[in-house]
Structure 1
């Protein structure tokens, strides 16, 4: 490997030799129980420094100690000021940490002399995405030495990035000197392997081509020593050239020397076999994932695009990852499908369809293109298309096609009106409004506003289902990220609600931002959601998808309701069966499931009549799943939800994986997902009746094989 490394100081002006030994003069570190002599006005700052991240805020990083100034108290719409007591400028520089919004005069730290602003600094962020990391900044104040001054932290901004974070203000003769580190690498292999240490200082890294063009631009927790894992960047198109890796602010420049080349992906032998890796649910090989995007079927492949940070364990750097499957069970990753337009202009959520009639004119060759819509955080709603099965995406030159205050476009073809529909979250200038807006288009390029449905927040989906399978009796379903839905009629422009004013719900627990597949070949409505909050500390991957489920609309005593059942393809993972049906389970009886399976992956089908029992309790590798007979509730960890008996019978369909438990009750009328990183050594499985006998109509345990 050929490489060179260059280090360049970014901030000029070293102190004179005679001044170098003068000690720093701290102004504020915000570690006390209150602001001390600083005076807060307005609501944004509260009575005391924040202790890190505030409710509803992305993770705040980069501050020192326990406390900092954080004006996100009350959210981005809170405003206020925080003013210091007077102090005398006694050194040549002021160092400080700053982050948050990048709005000059609105989210800033000001230095005032004689009541006038003489220096001002903001955070780096103005567009959706970004990071809450505080970074060092310094003011040269040589010309102000000996003058009396005050500092003022200002938050006058409402809306996105309407807050500022400040910490560790110090007078010094030795300003913080960010170091630019570069390394030239002659590429002979396909991948650059980038060492990541979760929790290390986050830096912005660029990979530049031979002409200085940006090939990749991302945040990464570059490992200063031993790496937790290696992220990777596919640079196959640039083999044979020399690329330059550049980091503008790096505490340990030698970290660049740990970047490696490889013809193969890292850890090939261990991939998908790690100790905590889910074996039934999709996870990305490395990095973070969240919302499923662009679920679509074409030519024998189910495509799962998803929100993905390929360079870190936590949220950030939003790309579209891509995986394909022949059967919704066995997934194979297909690389990055959609890169951010540029740093800070991230590829947020969206959807995909197959343009069978080539209405957009994007087709090249004999196969119709996959067309996707996504939110470009710096531009608006954008269209991309693929003529190679989603492996690469091309930007439509007329982007953005819709520009508004919102995100997460969902595309579908409305056959009666012969138009494309885009259902997209919109919040206008008022985040409290929260609506789904409907646009129409003949060609996926020119879009016309149709109508608005208030009361839904981000990641909408829109589709039609037959009630009890009757094609003459169909209703449209609209829902958003929290899974709550309404039923109605849709004419291609306007959604008319018929299910009443209250939203309906069928999913509970760790489940968010779900989407259904377009163009499903069997005509089924298949849904996958993000199992948000299912984490895997110490692993190279984080978060997982839910199991794929088939949605149906069935008539109940309360009216039509959605039911969700695991797709039939999951049965292919069964590795035998142990049955204990048609028996009575007495209180205190020996556990009939003892020894039923020795593995950590299994499926349970249970149908029981509570009779006189107080509860029925399953032991799932040490996690209790309880049916409370009196309340008719299912309880699993933090989730409790109503599951009424149907003619005296309760049915539970349970899947146990290494990181989670999913339960489908009463034929899927209610579905539950909970995070459950079980003890590796605990393979217990049990069932018990409490307070009375229980009639077990059906009890079957299926040990399961890995889907990998």
Structure 2
């Protein structure tokens, strides 16, 4: 659970007394508050099945939700107030679950709860009631969720597969909660914490099939074996009793651990261990220890990318490794919410001249919100000309495929954000951040996702990823070049349709 910049030390939990709100029990249109453990929890009418018009109105009457000037339209944000780390990314019965660090009482970090949203397509999200609230084991810091298909925990009660969450209770250690109704309600394990280690935190749990055991990757402040910050690996047969196996240094917060085939070859599997900032190692994991085969590598070179996590329990017939991160540090002046997630991306391992590297690319579901398209093929762009003259839209999916000469430089401006490429130096620059991206056989391929407050850039099919936030400063949309005519193999600009929340999902799935 990362600490936001500029917030000082972790603050103690602040639960507001119910008496503060006695005169405010009736809120907005059909909104209401209820008191729990001395604190007031605000309930949105969407949680009670209100009609669509009511569901898109803030309880305070501030106007339509999801369409404010700085509200992202195809990136997840909480309806109101603060969010940070994605937590408990898990797939079950047609639903992608996104739990997240959430302060339901304000726009700044604090009072950590687990917010909860679900989606059938990774695009349209329905925010559900709070999943986990603070208890005697502290506020609810980051963690993960798994589907315990074989009921190894013994928590199953009914026909549904049981979901088991492992999270950090601030000041106490690693705790367990479980759900028998697809994440709609949760029960705490009575013997929490199951690993009484603090400030170690952010447990990521996976099922390791070869050894038939659960493995936890846990951020450790000071390893007993390495003596440094890093990741500790633990094992369990039942998600309740854990044994420390090994440690690896050099990582900070929000670990992740998963296997991927290299070049889509199922016979060539490598494991990846990730830290919260996206730094990763490629190597081997035998169920006990991780053996690196690479140096520490950056996954994303943008200015707003942190607390990355990937989905568990994606069906084998899908097989994708899908990742979401927190776009830490974005600014949203005057908005009722604060912070956003990245767009979901698929991860893959590919062989490059430098070795095996991880690629990151938007999930295919973005096609669901594709609108009007503008395309150019096999043309030449002259210096001083703007290819995108006359196009005005704030939500874009831009595909660029160009042939480069050594002296070429081109510049893309979108609503005040600037992206440039210099063929002579091989440098790609996005909102002031720089990455090396050499052309492949004389060609450069870029993909850029533009939302109202974010730019996500993917170079050469995801070899380079740069995730950044911005505040729009103009309506300009231009592509220009220097150093001679730019040979364009293909460029496509897709105007994206807003995706302001999903209709209620079928509760019978």
TM-score of the aligned structures, taking structure 1 as reference length: 0.64
Aligned to 1:455: 250
Quick one: distance in 1 between partners of 2:61 and 2:262?
48
Q: Report the CA distance between 1:702 and its aligned residue.
A: 0.5
- Counterparts in 2 of 1:215 and 1:613: CA distance versus 1, 3 Å: same
Aligned to 1:585: 381
Aligned to 1:701: 493
Q: Report the CA distance between 1:622 and its aligned residue.
A: 2.5
3-state SS in 2 of match to 1:416: helix
- Counterparts in 2 of 1:303 and 1:181: CA distance versus 1, 3 Å: closer
Q: Does 1:130 align with 2:78?
A: no
Q: Is the 8 A contact 2:228 2:250 kept in 1?
A: yes
Q: Does 1:532 align with 2:328?
A: yes
- Counterparts in 2 of 1:571 and 1:621: CA distance versus 1, 3 Å: same
Q: Does 1:663 align with 2:457?
A: yes
Aligned to 2:346: 550
3-state SS in 1 of match to 2:141: strand
Q: Is the 8 A contact 2:271 2:284 kept in 1?
A: yes
Q: Report the CA distance between 1:273 and its aligned residue.
A: 1.2
1:426-475 C-alpha deviation (Å, 9 max, x unpaired) = 11389981010011000001101111111111100000000011111100
Aligned to 2:92: 298
- Counterparts in 2 of 1:327 and 1:601: CA distance versus 1, 3 Å: same
- 1:498 is aligned, of 281, 293, 300, to 293
1:209-268 C-alpha deviation (Å, 9 max, x unpaired) = 6xxxx2427xxxxxxxxxxxxx9357999xxxxxxxxxxxxxxxxxxxxxxxxx984449
Q: Is the 8 A contact 1:129 1:377 kept in 2?
A: no
Aligned to 1:358: 151
- 1:312 is aligned, of 106, 110, 114, to 106
- 2:239 is aligned, of 444, 457, 460, to 444
Aligned to 2:42: 232
Aligned to 1:197: none
Quick one: distance in 2 between partners of 1:361 and 1:618?
56
Q: Is the 8 A contact 2:223 2:232 kept in 1?
A: no
Q: Report the CA distance between 1:59 and its aligned residue.
A: 3.0
Aligned to 1:400: 193
Quick one: distance in 1 between partners of 2:406 and 2:300?
29
Q: Does 1:367 align with 2:160?
A: yes
Q: Report the CA distance between 1:672 and its aligned residue.
A: 0.5
Q: Is the 8 A contact 2:89 2:98 kept in 1?
A: yes
3-state SS in 1 of match to 2:481: strand
Quick one: distance in 2 between partners of 1:181 and 1:292?
32
1:124-154 C-alpha deviation (Å, 9 max, x unpaired) = xxxx54389xxxxxxxxxxxxxxxxxxxxxx
3-state SS in 1 of match to 2:461: helix
Q: Please give the residue correspondences for 1:97-496 in structure 2 after superposition, counting only pairs within 5 Å.
A: 128-130=10-12, 184=22, 191-192=31-32, 214-216=37-39, 232-233=42-43, 265-267=59-61, 270-342=64-136, 345-405=138-198, 406-428=200-222, 433-496=228-291
- Counterparts in 2 of 1:666 and 1:608: CA distance versus 1, 3 Å: same
Quick one: distance in 2 between partners of 1:266 and 1:180?
19
3-state SS in 1 of match to 2:301: strand
- Counterparts in 2 of 1:495 and 1:587: CA distance versus 1, 3 Å: same
- 2:404 is aligned, of 605, 610, 613, to 610
Quick one: distance in 2 between partners of 1:482 and 1:306?
17
Q: Is the 8 A contact 2:284 2:293 kept in 1?
A: yes
3-state SS in 2 of match to 1:428: coil
- Counterparts in 2 of 1:675 and 1:186: CA distance versus 1, 3 Å: closer
**Structure 1 gap ranges (5+):** 1-54, 61-99, 101-127, 133-178, 194-206, 218-230, 238-262
Q: Is the 8 A contact 2:406 2:424 kept in 1?
A: no
3-state SS in 1 of match to 2:150: coil
Q: Does 1:643 align with 2:437?
A: yes
Aligned to 1:18: none
- 2:313 is aligned, of 519, 527, 533, to 519
Quick one: distance in 2 between partners of 1:373 and 1:235?
29
- Counterparts in 2 of 1:701 and 1:362: CA distance versus 1, 3 Å: same
Quick one: distance in 2 between partners of 1:665 and 1:636?
11
- Counterparts in 2 of 1:567 and 1:643: CA distance versus 1, 3 Å: same
Q: Report the CA distance between 1:386 and its aligned residue.
A: 0.8
Q: Is the 8 A contact 1:610 1:616 kept in 2?
A: no
Q: Report the CA distance between 1:638 and its aligned residue.
A: 2.5
- What is the aligned residue count? 480
- Counterparts in 2 of 1:355 and 1:632: CA distance versus 1, 3 Å: same
Q: Is the 8 A contact 1:404 1:428 kept in 2?
A: no
Quick one: distance in 1 between partners of 2:306 and 2:343?
13
- Counterparts in 2 of 1:181 and 1:236: CA distance versus 1, 3 Å: same
- 1:566 is aligned, of 347, 355, 362, to 362
Q: Is the 8 A contact 1:320 1:337 kept in 2?
A: yes
Q: Does 1:59 align with 2:7?
A: yes
Q: Report the CA distance between 1:610 and its aligned residue.
A: 2.1
3-state SS in 1 of match to 2:247: strand
- Counterparts in 2 of 1:188 and 1:599: CA distance versus 1, 3 Å: closer
* RMSD of Structure 2 on Structure 1 (CA): 2.7
Q: Is the 8 A contact 1:610 1:693 kept in 2?
A: no
- Counterparts in 2 of 1:307 and 1:628: CA distance versus 1, 3 Å: same
Q: Report the CA distance between 1:573 and its aligned residue.
A: 1.0
Higher gyration radius (CA)? 1
Q: Is the 8 A contact 1:612 1:693 kept in 2?
A: no
- 2:301 is aligned, of 499, 508, 512, to 508
Quick one: distance in 2 between partners of 1:421 and 1:56?
28
- Counterparts in 2 of 1:384 and 1:268: CA distance versus 1, 3 Å: farther
Q: Return the structure number with greater relative CO, CA threshold 8 A, min gap 6.
A: 2
- Counterparts in 2 of 1:208 and 1:391: CA distance versus 1, 3 Å: closer
Q: Report the CA distance between 1:340 and its aligned residue.
A: 1.1
- 1:691 is aligned, of 483, 491, 497, to 483
- Counterparts in 2 of 1:600 and 1:188: CA distance versus 1, 3 Å: closer
